[in-house]
Structure 1
Amino acid sequence: MDIYSKRLPTIKQLQYFVAVCDELSFTGAAKKLGISQPPLSTQIKNLEETLQSPLFLRNTHNIVLTNEGEILKLKAKQLLNDLCSIVKSTSNDEKVLIGTTKTLSFDYIPYFKTFLTEFADETEIYKHNYTSKELQLELHKGNIDFAIVSDARDFTENSLLIYQEPLTLVLPVNHPCSKQDKVNLNDVLDLPLFWFKQHSNPLFYDQCEQVFNSLNHPLQRRTELADNLSMLLEVALGNAMMLLPQSMAQAKVDGVTYKKLISNQDKKLKINIYLIWRKNLKMTAINQAIINYFQQN
């Protein structure tokens, strides 16, 4: 007998057979397969006729595998598992998982909206509420394929600088500088700044320190609160100011105004955003296309 023989069992027959083996019940197997019992019984009968061997001993209460059935059970399971692996390795249906740092609001960045639209059928966005550090850990674990983050220190060979996000100054509306189109940080040193801890993003922290240290007077800092809304309400009361990524400065809060920084401060305070990927990432056509997209844009 060769591989083209019409006497070979079908995949469906083997699937039905394995389901009966697992459940030791035609009723249970039919439920597992999502079919009615009569076609299941027919397929098993056809399989036994094809193999010219009984596979089950059964009465009204019990089902027991014959010796031939036990041998086929092992081989059929291995064959079906191998087939699943082949399909998985060659299928294009599995989506590429991309993590996006919660530092930015990607819905408000046209550059990323265009990317996500163009690759909508091939990609899936991983959990949104992750920091860059947490996404790096997810990459190391192999839980995601790519990440868009603000820190790529551990991925120097597997990263691209793809975007720079400006910072927006958030002021109380009653501050004198709220009437200006662009604000110099030297003119708002009367307010403390809500600011993050150095360990959360050392590179960007040091980048900002160079600007802050060049100001006319020391800049007061306040530890960030649990969420942006709480800090915005403090700003509205005149108790502080904020520097937010431009895409995160969307909430409309009474008593708060959003302002651009003067040119030389704006240029130095942009957040570098990187595409990073797993070091053992298989370079499929779609993975390469994602990297190429950002290289070319």
Structure 2
Amino acid sequence: MDIRQLRYFLAVAEEEQITSAANKLNISQPPLSQQLKQLEDELGVKLLERGSRKIQLTDAGKLLRIRAEEILHLTEATYKELKDFKEGVKGTLSIGTVSSSGTIFLPERILRFNNSYPEVNFEIWEGNTYKILEYLNNGLIEIGIVRTPFNIEDFKSILLEREPMIAVYSGKKQKETCTIEELRDKPLIIYRRFEAIVSQVFIKANIDPRIICKTDDARTALLWAAAGVGTALVPKSAFSLVQNDNLNYSILEEAALETEIAAIWMENRYLSVAARHFLEMF
């Protein structure tokens, strides 16, 4: 059993067809089938059930899939670690960030890091928190910048300071703070990321909120508020994403709506030297 055979096996497990797996691996079908047969013979167990339309894993095949993924991850991590050891802190660091956090928390840290490690370049991927978690799981990025709450299973994290949610509106400054009750009859624009916790707070206050828009981007919520469409509920630090003299906000007096920025990474995956040094900026 070797690394190549495990890669072949995983491709078939993912594609569920020999033809699709062969195309993915850029090889012809006979050598692929031969390698799979050799793997089964060597291990002494049947790994695949070959049906008319698709291939399914046997129980032994399911176990091998788990172990093969672990072995290939470890192989890749070992390669990267030795490469880092040889080359030092250089290369490209891939970071994923939610839009409402990246533009606020990343530039200053990237500048400090670049001054210390000028041979490291950056690749930034943007998306909502769920997309950033997906990027991490797929190995597309090493570090994610997200907002709580999120499922912390499989991740390590560094939490930054807590911040309140604010009610953003167009026009003169009304009050420094406001309560959920004061939003009872107002048309609301909410960041879809926080729909669940916002709804829970209104339910607890026995209020049926008038939500006229849900969006995945804090900028969109702020722009709609600036246009006078309604009141946007966003994290306080997101207010600076849109420069508009007609926008004002009041801090929501509700601890349940406070959030935190978090730098997260996979718990059981190798972090490059560059990534480890970048986390020292937090």
Distance 1:268 1:230 in 2: 23
Task: Decide which structure has greater strand share.
Answer: 2
Distance 1:269 1:168 in 2: 9
Partner residue of 1:268? 256
After TM superposition, give the deviation of residue 126 of structure 1 in Å: 3.2
The answer to whether the 8 A contact 1:191-1:220 is kept is: yes
Distance 1:232 1:249 in 2: 7
Aligned partner of 2:238 among 233, 240, 248: 248
Partner residue of 1:235? 225
Note the 1:140-151 alignment, pairs <5 A. Answer: 140-150=137-147
The answer to whether structure 1 residue 90 and structure 2 residue 80 are counterparts is: no
Partner residue of 2:97? 100
Partner residue of 1:213? 203
Are residues 172 and 291 of structure 1, via their aligned partners in 2, closer, same or farther at CA, if it must alter by over 3 Å? closer
Higher mean alpha-carbon deviation, 282-291 vs 272-281, is at: 282-291
Q: Report the secondary structure of 2:100's partner residue.
A: coil
Distance 2:220 2:83 in 1: 50
After TM superposition, give the deviation of residue 233 of structure 1 in Å: 5.2
Q: Report the secondary structure of 1:144's partner residue.
A: coil
Partner residue of 1:132? 129
Q: Report the secondary structure of 2:96's partner residue.
A: strand
Partner residue of 1:26? none
Note the 1:160-171 alignment, pairs <5 A. Answer: 160-171=158-169
TM-score for the superposition, normalised by structure 2: 0.56
Identity rate of aligned residues, in percent? 20
Are residues 192 and 275 of structure 1, via their aligned partners in 2, closer, same or farther at CA, if it must alter by over 3 Å? same
Distance 1:152 1:226 in 2: 15
The answer to whether the 8 A contact 2:155-2:266 is kept is: no
Partner residue of 1:182? 177
Distance 2:272 2:245 in 1: 49
Distance 2:266 2:91 in 1: 17
Partner residue of 2:64? none
After TM superposition, give the deviation of residue 238 of structure 1 in Å: 4.1
Of structures 1 and 2, the larger Rg is shown by 1
After TM superposition, give the deviation of residue 172 of structure 1 in Å: 2.8
The count of residues paired between Structure 1 and Structure 2 equals 196
Partner residue of 2:189? 194
After TM superposition, give the deviation of residue 242 of structure 1 in Å: 0.4
Higher mean alpha-carbon deviation, 151-160 vs 187-196, is at: 151-160
The answer to whether the 8 A contact 1:163-1:274 is kept is: no
The answer to whether structure 1 residue 258 and structure 2 residue 249 are counterparts is: yes
Higher mean alpha-carbon deviation, 277-286 vs 241-250, is at: 277-286
Distance 2:83 2:207 in 1: 64
After TM superposition, give the deviation of residue 285 of structure 1 in Å: 4.8
Are residues 237 and 189 of structure 1, via their aligned partners in 2, closer, same or farther at CA, if it must alter by over 3 Å? farther
Distance 1:287 1:99 in 2: 12
Q: Report the secondary structure of 1:136's partner residue.
A: helix
Distance 2:121 2:159 in 1: 21
Distance 1:119 1:96 in 2: 11
